[in-house]
């Protein structure tokens, strides 16, 4: 399974946000913030993303470090580019990819990367099948990522200790070199499950020592997942109709107890399936004029159609109903 290699362009109009060399270099935090417009990205991060308090606060810390670094640079105090490589650990669907995109915007606005795009890869994009294929593959990816962020999802798959001749090691070595030598032009973010990432770092001290910032993404609470559902529906021009939000809360409780729960990603998938049921429900009413509300509301039946509600009623309650 290979995730597609995709690039996400930087913020629209970001070029304009990069301040032209001002007559006077910034001397205050406010001036750096005004020149870079980085605060807008941080505010968006706060408002667009539900929960993630520890992640948001770490990002503010990193941004503060970079702003101060700019001020130091302006007084010729900085000695070297700060190390910005990061690791994002957490379960699936906890927002790692989403936050990486925002991080790239922040780094771009503060002038730490030229372009601010994100190139997202997995092992298969970096490692070849045959001898001699890995180096060119990895270098091609790095070329695409230069000036932005290279996001390596499930990075631990690069390292397969059970296979002595695994080509993943070659990709890691090239990565390490670039992380060291070109850190003024490329930020690497490795991501994945926390426990597997810890083991990976233990076996690869070279990598671990080059990563300055470790951000841990917690699982969402049920309340946060509900809020995420509200946000997702709003951006798709849908909403929970009367009584539906409560049914979705029941759905979440059932789903959380199932295996392979993937946080916000599971919420998105559940909403997609509900939209299918809503469409089938409306499709059946051939002659009815469909109002704006009909077309945008998910109703309790659209959620209850899920298999999770099929579980047989326990005998005790069956007797009384
Ligand atoms: N805090 C949040 N608020 C609103 N939406 C969120 C939040 N976190 C994640 N999402 C949404 O959930 C979906 C999954 O998030 P994302 O892809 O960033 O997770 P991930 O941790 O990278 O998952 P995976 O490990 O499966 O790749 C996206 O559509 C994203 O917009
Ligand atoms: Mg992801």
Q: Is the CB of 95 under 6 A from ligand 1?
A: yes
Q: Is the CB of 56 under 6 A from ligand 1?
A: no
Protein residue with least CA distance to atom 13, ligand 1: 265
Counting residues of the chain whose pLDDT is more than 90, the rounded percentage is: 66
For residue 263, name the pLDDT band (cuts at 50, 70, 90). Answer: very high
Q: Is the CB of 196 under 6 A from ligand 1?
A: no
Task: Tell me which of 14-18, 24-28, 268-272 is least confident.
Answer: 14-18
Protein residue with least CA distance to atom 8, ligand 1: 95
* CA angle 267–268–272, rounded 5-degree value: 115
Q: What pLDDT does residue 163 have? A: 80
Average pLDDT over residues 181-208: 92
Average pLDDT over residues 165-182: 91
C-alpha dist (Å) from residue 137 to 146, 149, 167: 15, 17, 11
Among 93, 156, 192, residue to substitute to test ligand 1 (most atoms within 8 Å of Cβ): 93
Task: Tell me which of 43-47, 58-62, 155-159, 310-314 is least confident.
Answer: 310-314
Ligand 1: centre distance to CA 115 (Å): 23
pLDDT at residue 7 greater than cutoff 50: no
| Nearest in space to 17 (alpha carbons), one of 42, 40, 48 | 40
Ligand 2: centre distance to CA 264 (Å): 11
DSSP conformation class of 49 = S
pLDDT at residue 13 greater than cutoff 60: no
pLDDT at residue 314 greater than cutoff 80: no
Ligand 1: centre distance to CA 264 (Å): 5
Write out the DSSP string of 238-276. Answer: -EE-TTHHHHHHHHHHHHHTSTT--HHHHHHHHHHHHHH
Average pLDDT, the chain: 88
Q: What pLDDT does residue 315 have? A: 56
For residue range 27-53, list pLDDT tens digits in order: 899 888 888 888 888 888 898 999 999
C-alpha dist (Å) from residue 34 to 39, 172, 205: 8, 38, 39
Among 193, 265, 266, residue to substitute to test ligand 1 (most atoms within 8 Å of Cβ): 265
pLDDT at residue 14 greater than cutoff 60: no
Entry pTM: 0.85
- List Cβ<8 Å contacts ≥24 apart for 126-133: 126/152, 126/158, 126/168, 126/171, 126/175, 127/158, 127/167, 127/168, 127/170, 127/171, 128/167, 129/167, 131/167, 133/167
| Nearest in space to 145 (alpha carbons), one of 299, 8, 314 | 8
Contact (CB, 8 A) for 152 and 188 = yes
For residue 11, name the pLDDT band (cuts at 50, 70, 90). Answer: very low
pLDDT at residue 152 greater than cutoff 80: yes
Contact (CB, 8 A) for 92 and 167 = no
Average pLDDT over residues 222-229: 97
Q: What pLDDT does residue 272 have? A: 98
For residue range 279-309, list pLDDT tens digits in order: 999 999 999 999 999 999 999 999 999 999 9
CA distance 86 to 104: 12
- Determine the atom of ligand 1 nearest the C-alpha atom of 262: 26
Highest mean pLDDT of the ranges 16-20, 107-111, 201-205, 216-220: 216-220
């Amino acid at each position: 399974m290979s995730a597609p290699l995709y690039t996400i362009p930087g913020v629209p109009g970001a070029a304009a946000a990069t301040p032209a060399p001002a007559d006077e270099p910034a001397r205050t935090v406010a001036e750096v913030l005004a020149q870079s417009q980085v605060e807008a990205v941080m505010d968006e991060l706060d408002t667009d993303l539900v929960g993630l308090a520890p992640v948001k606060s770490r990002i503010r810390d990193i941004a503060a470090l970079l702003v101060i670094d700019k001020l130091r640079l302006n007084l010729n105090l900085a000695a070297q580019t700060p190390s910005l490589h990061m690791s994002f650990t957490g379960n699936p669907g906890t927002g790692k990819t989403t936050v990486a995109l925002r991080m790239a915007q922040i780094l771009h606005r503060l002038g730490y990367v030229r372009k601010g795009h994100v190139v997202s890869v997995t092992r298969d994009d970096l490692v070849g099948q045959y001898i001699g294929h890995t180096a060119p593959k990895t270098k091609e990816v790095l070329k695409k990522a230069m000036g932005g962020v290279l996001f390596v999802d499930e990075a631990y798959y690069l390292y397969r200790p059970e296979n002595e001749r695994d080509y993943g090691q070659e990709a890691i070595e090239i990565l390490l070199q670039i992380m060291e030598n070109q850190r003024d032009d490329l930020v690497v973010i490795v991501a994945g499950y926390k426990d597997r990432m810890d083991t990976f770092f233990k076996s690869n001290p070279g990598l671990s020592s080059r990563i300055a910032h470790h951000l841990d993404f917690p699982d969402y609470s049920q309340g946060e997942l509900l809020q995420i559902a509200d946000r997702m529906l709003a951006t798709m021009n849908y909403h929970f109709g009367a009584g539906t939000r409560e049914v979705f809360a029941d759905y979440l409780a059932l789903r959380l107890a199932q295996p392979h729960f993937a946080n916000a990603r599971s919420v998105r998938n559940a909403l997609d399936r509900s939209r299918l049921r809503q469409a089938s429900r409306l499709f059946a009413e051939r002659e009815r004029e469909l109002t704006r509300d009909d077309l945008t509301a998910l109703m309790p039946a659209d959620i209850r159609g899920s298999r999770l509600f099929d579980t047989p009623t326990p005998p005790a309650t069956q007797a009384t109903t």
